[in-house]
Every structure is written in structure tokens, then in C-alpha cells.
A = this chain, B = another copy of it.
Amino acid sequence: MRTFATISDTPKGSCSDTGCDPGIVLPERKLNEECGVFGIAGHGAMAADVTRLALVTMQHRGPESAGIVTTDGIGGMYHHRGMGLVEKAVKPQHLAPLRAGSNAVGHVRYSTTGSSSLANAQPLVFSFARGNLALAHNGNLTNAATIRAELEATGAIFQTTSDTEVVAHLVARSPEPDMTDAIRGALTDVEGGFALVLLADDRLVACRDRHGLRPLVLGRMPDGAWCVASESCALDVIGATFERDVEPGELLVLEPDGSLVLSRFAEAAEQRALCTFEHIYFARPDSDVDGHNVHTVRKRFGRLLAEVAPVDADVVVGVPDSSVSAATGYSEASGIPNEMGLVKNRYIGRTFLEPSPELRTNGVRMKLNAVRGVVGGQRVVLIDDSLVRGTTSMRIVRMLREAGAAEVHVRIACPPVKHPCFFGIDMSTYDELAAAHSTVEELREHIGADSLAFLDEPVMMRAFDEVGDVPARGHCNACFTGKYPVEVELTASKLGLERGLVGVS
């Protein structure tokens, strides 16, 4: 059995490969996000710049690496990738050569499979008989290990541990003469949840898995250039008009001349299955995902929570930043005042070096501090967006009590997470899910709250029906219910996807 080193061996705080970065400061996230993609066709010398802007806007979807590839439509492909935030990974000066291309694809990454190294940074770029191909991918291919094994058996070599690389091989081996057909064929072989943007020499192809697990929207620039993005907020910021969500199973060909060719690579699944965590946690509050504004849904989660899990309390406190909308909703529905009982140090990030062991408990407070003047002597309703491992909740409850809170009632704006996700979210084994093995009462005791309540799945789904212009069109709630929209090769995916090479280049 092959084993691999993990890159966590890399000395923390040392100069990383892509530059000495003594501590990028960014909000810490509870769950690892699953990447953001963007593509634009026929936008002249501004294609690379617009792509960078879009990636900056979708930075929350992937702070680990970023990359942009452009093509001039006649065989020249230009790319730049780097580790870290877009601001650092793709600097303005890096764009100079990329401006030679008017079609572009971009990617921000938070690894879910494959190790965290520059080699795995996307867009991946390949050269084969048809020319060049760049791929940007959000999601997970659940049968990637099986396909990879089949490809290797016939001589394929792999350079990354990314599941995305199998798509390139499938395209390269396709007998279809036309590139779009070759891509379509490759896509019929893969399963899972994905939004994928492929940049060939002469066209840009975008698609969304047939369940619609991962989001993708279509937009249009004032000059007529079509573009796609994981989130609508990127369209806002680049000045594009939101056209519509890409449909599950749909295949869009964005051509440099401004034409858009619509087709399908698969029938949409009977039951649409948009990942609910997009609204719960991942997407930016200003994005609309499949017809529902994220902030509005979150606030409604809070209102519903106040309805189904009321509590006699003095103050509502939301965990910043993700639970601010839900806390506002809870407060407005319950009439209990919404207070800033927890203050986040906005200057501390993921890579902040922990202080020496003696100060470690203070280290937690360094990131999040409870406000004695607000919670002292008060009965607190603590609103959090979700509860996955339980550790953070436990710490915050303790912190509130140390700041003098008389009672702490925890209200979680979604159901308990009881099942792993195989479609791109970093909660992939039962072991790490607190609610998989515990009753709500056990969880309450574990985190030390006076009371604990969740939103039931049916109640949660009401939020979608109650806000926005459209009712909920089908969501994947497998992490709450265990009902997966796709049959998952459990063993293979868990063992096999980790195969490959590990390194830090």
C-alpha cells in the first residue's frame, strides 16, 4: 500500500515556495471551501484583468492558490498560478503577458482532494494533439479514482493528485473530431458534483453537473462578452449583467465572437440537488444562488429558528462573520436585542502563528473575544450557522461564560451534520462529525450550553420557499439526511483519491 507524506510537515512560518509570506491575514473558516471558477470569452486585452477581479471577489471560496490562463485563439496559451490569496498569487504585473489572450479562465482553490501544493493549483494546463487545454474545477468527481486507474492501465501518466486531471485525459483520448464533442464525451464518464470551465485554444466551455450540486452562473459584459462564475457577486463586481443560473447537465460554449452555443452533456437529474451549504455558509451574502439571495435566506433561517426554538433571553449574539445575518433574523423575530457580544480581531488569519504554549488559551481570545460589558449577567442566545466538529462552539460557550454570561443558549441555523460530504466540502469522514454519534442532548452537554437547538431540515427548506422569487428547486441535504443524490464509490473514493504524488513545488 502506498503512503504519502502530508504537507503539514512544512515548517510553519517559514518562507513558502511562492514567496516569503509571513502570515497572510484572512478570516478563518470553519469548513474548507471548494473553489471558485470563472471564465470569459472574447473580451480582448481586458480578459485577464476582469478574471482577476472576479477571482478577488470569490476569494472566500479559495484562499489557498489562484491562477489565470488566457488564450489568444490561435494556439498561444498564457498562464500564471501562485499560492495564497489572489492579491499575492496573481499580481498586476503577472497579468502583462496574459493580456495577449482575450479568452480567459480563472480559479481560486481550497483543496479538497489532492495535496496543497503549487503543482495542484488550478487552472491545470495541458498540451495534447488537439492543442492546449486549461481546466478550472469546483467540486469533486466521485469516480475519479476508478477512471484514473483505467487510464493508467493504458499508459497514462499523471502529474497532479487532483481529480480534475482525469477530465483532460478523457478529452485527449476521445475519438470525437470536434473539441466540444470530445469534452461532452469526457463529461459523460465522470460523476459527482462539479462546475467546470475548460479553455481550449478557440473556445471556452462551461458546465455544471447534472444534479446541480455546485453553483454556476452566466453573465454578460456590457461589450457583449459572455462569462461564467461560481457566484453572482463576481458578476456584480466586474460590471456584468446576471443572465441566469447554468442548468444542471448543461454545456455552454462561449465563443470569442460573442456567440453562445447551448447544449447538454447529460440530462438533468430528476431531482435537482444544489448543495445547501452554499446558502448556509459558503457563498457571499450578496450572491444569489439558484434564485435565492444568500443573506436573505440566512436571515430567514434566523427568523425560523426563533419560531421553532424560542428562548427566554436578554441578548442575541451571532458568531461573526458567518452568523450575523441569522442573528439579525432571530433578533427581529424574537424581539430580543441583537448585540455584539463577540468581537473578532480582523487582523488575524489562518496562518497566524500560535503564541507560545503558555499563552495558547489567550490565543483563542486573540481571534475572538467575548464582550463582558455586553454579555455580563445576561442570558445569551448564541447563533451559529452550523455545527460540524463542535470544537468552536464549545470554546465560544466557555468564553461567554468566562465573560459573565448567566446562560448560553445555542441556536444553530441548520440541522445537525450527521453524514460526510463527497462533493467538495471538507467534512468527509464520520469521525469528524460531532452529530454523527451524539444526540442533541449529548451535544449540548459537550459544548456546555444551557440549551441547544437546530433547524429541522423541512423547516430550513421553508426559508427558500419564503424568500426570493422562486421556491426551493431541490437541494442536496445529504450531510443532514444521508440521502446522497449520487451513488458514491465510498471505498474507492476515500482510498483512491489520495493516491498520487505529494510534494511542495
Contact = CB atoms under 8 A, between A and B. Distances in A.
Interface of A: 1-5, 7, 9-11, 13-27, 46, 49-50, 52-53, 56-57, 59-60, 63, 67, 69, 72, 74-82, 85-88, 91-94, 96-97, 100, 118, 121, 124-129, 131-133, 149, 152-153, 155-159, 161, 168-169, 172-173, 201, 233, 236-239, 284-286, 288, 293, 295-296, 299, 321, 324-325, 328, 331-332, 337-340, 343, 345-349, 352-353, 355-356, 358-359, 361-363, 365-366, 369-374, 403, 468, 499-505
Nearest to A201: B2
Nearest to A348: B56
28 contacts: A1-B75, A5-B100, A7-B97, A16-B19, A17-B18, A17-B19, A18-B19, A49-B358, A50-B359, A57-B366, A125-B501, A126-B157, A126-B158, A126-B501, A127-B158, A155-B172, A237-B369, A239-B362, A284-B343, A293-B371, A293-B374, A295-B343, A295-B371, A295-B373, A299-B339, A299-B340, A324-B324, A324-B340
A369 B374 CA distance: 30
Contacts of A80: 17, 503-505
A22 B21 contact: yes
Contacts of A133: 157
B49 A355 contact: yes
Contacts of A79: 501-505
A362 B53 contact: yes
A77 B19 contact: no
Interface-centre pick from A50, A80, A237 (highest chain B CB count, 10 A): A237
A75 B24 contact: no
A91 B13 contact: yes
Contacts of A67: 505
A60 B344 CA distance: 11
A347 B63 contact: yes
A156 B172 contact: yes
B131 A503 contact: no
A157 B131 contact: no
Nearest to A365: B237
A399 to B, nearest CB: 10
Contacts of A10: 93-94, 96-97
Nearest to A126: B157
Contact of A20 (B20, B24, B118, B366): B20
A123 to B, nearest CB: 10
A313 to B, nearest CB: 15
Contacts of A93: 10-11, 13-14
Contacts of A366: 53, 56-57, 237
A346 B358 contact: no
A76 B6 CA distance: 11
B87 A356 contact: no
A9 B372 contact: no
Chain A to chain B: the 8 pairs with minimum beta-carbon distance, closest first:
A2-B75, A20-B20, A293-B373, A155-B173, A79-B503, A129-B152, A9-B97, A23-B87
A38 to B, nearest CB: 14
Nearest to A354: B92
Nearest to A80: B504
Given A20-B19, A366-B57, A502-B78, A159 B347 contact: no
Contacts of A46: 356, 358-359
A25 B128 contact: no
A225 to B, nearest CB: 13
A173 B78 CA distance: 30
B374 A296 contact: yes
A321 B343 CA distance: 11
Contact of A233 (B49, B50, B343): B343
Nearest to A336: B332
B125 A159 contact: yes
Contacts of A169: 155, 157
Given A157-B128, A296-B374, A359 B501 contact: no
A345 B237 CA distance: 11
Nearest to A6: B97
B288 A85 contact: no
A25 B26 contact: yes
Contact of A25 (B3, B25, B293): B25
Contact of A155 (B25, B128, B365): B128
Given A157-B169, A346-B60, A503-B80, A359 B53 contact: yes
Contacts of A94: 10, 504
A502 B101 CA distance: 13
Contacts of A159: 124-127, 159
B503 A127 contact: no
Given A10-B97, A332-B338, A87 B348 contact: yes
